[in-house]
Amino acid sequence: MLRSLLLGAALAAVAATGCGSTSYSTGGGSSASQAGASSATRAQFTAQADAICTTLHAEQGQLRSRLIALERLPTARQARKAGGAIARESVALARVAEAKLQALARPPADAATIEHLLAGYREETGYALRIAEAIAHEYPRGQEAAARGLKRAVTVDRGLAAGLGIRACAESE
């Protein structure tokens, strides 16, 4: 049972984390305003964001495979330790992707929506990091609460991504 809870929480942390997130500020308003200073068309932004999200999802797919393999470990303690580390790896990958998204030139008409989406991705990764920590500290209630928050954030962010035409993020697993 514990291993199933661990696997479910870790899979949620890896699979649901958006197209790039972070739980810390990447420079606050100056980063956003610098990216917004250079403009792009929506098609240009969408194509670049799709490429970033596609890469992230491929990397996270490899992590999901490693998580599933944890079922074969002999003890729940080993699975918990490895699962938490894999979830933290997913967070690190998402942070890199978020930085790339943050640096993209934005279409002026969509700048506010894009900033809202990026803030949502930061929130997603914050939840994923909480899941990883809850796994490491054997705190099932913390895992469940963070998983609920992550699910809510992902739902909102997928809608924003779909509205912008960023299919790779809107249709992520």
CATH class entry, domain 41-170: mainly alpha
Residue 173 has pLDDT above 80, yes or no: no
pLDDT at 172: 62
CA distance 129 to 153: 14
Domain residue extents for the chain: 41-170
13-71 pLDDT tens trace? 666 565 643 333 333 333 444 444 478 999 999 999 999 999 999 999 999 999 888 88
User: Which residues, in sequence order, are CB contacts of 156 under 8 Å at separation 6+?
Assistant: 120
Q: How far is CA 94 from CA 15, 19, 53, 107, in A?
A: 11, 7, 9, 23
pLDDT at 81: 84
- SS3 call for 21: coil
79-131 pLDDT tens trace? 888 888 898 899 999 999 999 999 999 999 999 999 999 999 999 999 999 99
Of 82, 87, 58, 85, nearest in space to 70 by CA: 82
CA distance 21 to 99: 8
